[in-house]
Structure 1
């Protein structure tokens, strides 16, 4: 295992598994390594489709908040690593299926939102706790999953939504019991892998080209606000409170 994940290839289907206890949160180096792995799989002639899933309690809790609490200057590296991973998924030459369970937070939202197809276990929940962690980010990819007003409600409140609600809103292709998640995702992947690799790669490029707006540009815009947020005292307080498992205490701000 390297940097909290591993992969395998069988019959044209690459399976990339995030496995980094306790919550599959990756540090800055881990996000860069994940991006490189996805890029490498996408260029292989024996890979026709990629399934990204995870082991453990949930799909992905995002970035390693403890790393940023200890090394706040690494926010630039964390931002860059996230950007590269989400770009690698979205711009991958072959379709990417995200099979998610448990918590799908922060960077987990980025992976799912960048993917071509998302299949969820019944236990999956989706959320963006960025505001409560003193950061920004996730909105661009969240809007690829949910309607704009739902995105804003999730963003401002930090409230999660269930797999059933995500399915109702059209974000999930299927919702299945946790025990069936892997095989369900692989069944969809095998159906795609059996088709002409050349046609599928052309279809992926064409569909990316006709999307409304540039996902990577939108996310890059968001990341500028993440850096700005980190310059605010409230941002450091939220991270410290998270590490110390206490309620954050904010200094009142003037509206002037």
Structure 2
């Protein structure tokens, strides 16, 4: 991995992905491409069983790089390529075969919310807020993703007014898992990440496949899909190891492969 604008460290089977492009983690072309590249590489990294995304210091991400955004469209095909690239920011997170935790350490605006709305679990520090400012800066986008995790009226308020939703309010509404002081954020996020990383890689991969597939399926079809995955899981050595460990009252020992 490049470790230039996106710093990656793997600790106890948790990949910590830190957006580190001063001063505000704006999504420039280079930043966007490196972010997608990181998730592509982590997909094939067995040493990582869970991914934790955060930002630098007290800033998660201020969103689009407006200075660079103004140059989009200078050449034929620029806008199309840019739109496709930005779609992949969300896709690379959603399609990850590992659970993704967003530890929101400060403001998250516009496309800076992509790692959040596409994550599996969200925690935030009490200095963080969530905002869709496109209405005020001549842009559009992100409505469907915003509507995925925010309630009906609140999502529309954010999209139509640029309302800044404080992390404390997001927690009160049940949108995020925790709102804690900044210094407690990473320990809280790591506690969950380490719990996930202790599970069977095979089980984690199947659970992610189930989550990503059944979300928009009818109940009957979704449950049948999950049952097929259950059948697949029971034929794996990790399933046998989990059952043995349960009966022997010990912690299971799983391999680093699916």
Superposed pair shares fold, TM > 0.5: yes
1:208 — aligned with what?
212
1:103 aligns with 2:104: no
> Which has the higher Rg, Structure 1 or Structure 2?
2
1:130 — aligned with what?
134
Equivalent-residue separation in structure 1 for 2:154 and 2:123 (angstroms): 20
Equivalent-residue separation in structure 2 for 1:131 and 1:75 (angstroms): 19
Q: Is the contact between residue 31 and residue 78 of structure 1 (CA under 8 Å) also seen in structure 2? A: no
Shift of the 29–80 alpha-carbon distance from structure 1 to 2, 3 Å rule, reads: farther
RMSD across aligned positions (CA): 1.6
- Gaps in structure 2 of 5+ consecutive residues: 218-258
Q: CA deviation at 1:69?
A: 2.1
Equivalent residue in structure 1 for 2:184, among 180, 184, 199: 180
Equivalent-residue separation in structure 2 for 1:107 and 1:135 (angstroms): 11
Q: CA deviation at 1:184?
A: 1.1
State the Cα deviation string for residues 137-159 of structure 1 (Å, max 9, x = none).
11122122211221111100011
1:150 — aligned with what?
154
Equivalent-residue separation in structure 2 for 1:28 and 1:76 (angstroms): 14
Which consecutive aligned stretches of 4+ in structure 1 deviate over 4 angstroms post-superposition? none
Please, what TM-score do these two structures have when normalized by structure 1?
A: 0.79
1:161 — aligned with what?
165
1:34 aligns with 2:31: no
1:252 — aligned with what?
none
Please, what TM-score do these two structures have when normalized by structure 2?
A: 0.78
Equivalent-residue separation in structure 2 for 1:35 and 1:171 (angstroms): 25
Q: Is the contact between residue 146 and residue 170 of structure 1 (CA under 8 Å) also seen in structure 2? A: no
Q: CA deviation at 1:3?
A: 4.7
Q: Name which structure has the greater RCO, CA cutoff 8 Å, separation 6+.
A: 1
State the Cα deviation string for residues 139-189 of structure 1 (Å, max 9, x = none).
122122211221111100011110111112222111111011111111110
- Gaps in structure 1 of 5+ consecutive residues: 214-256
1:8 — aligned with what?
9
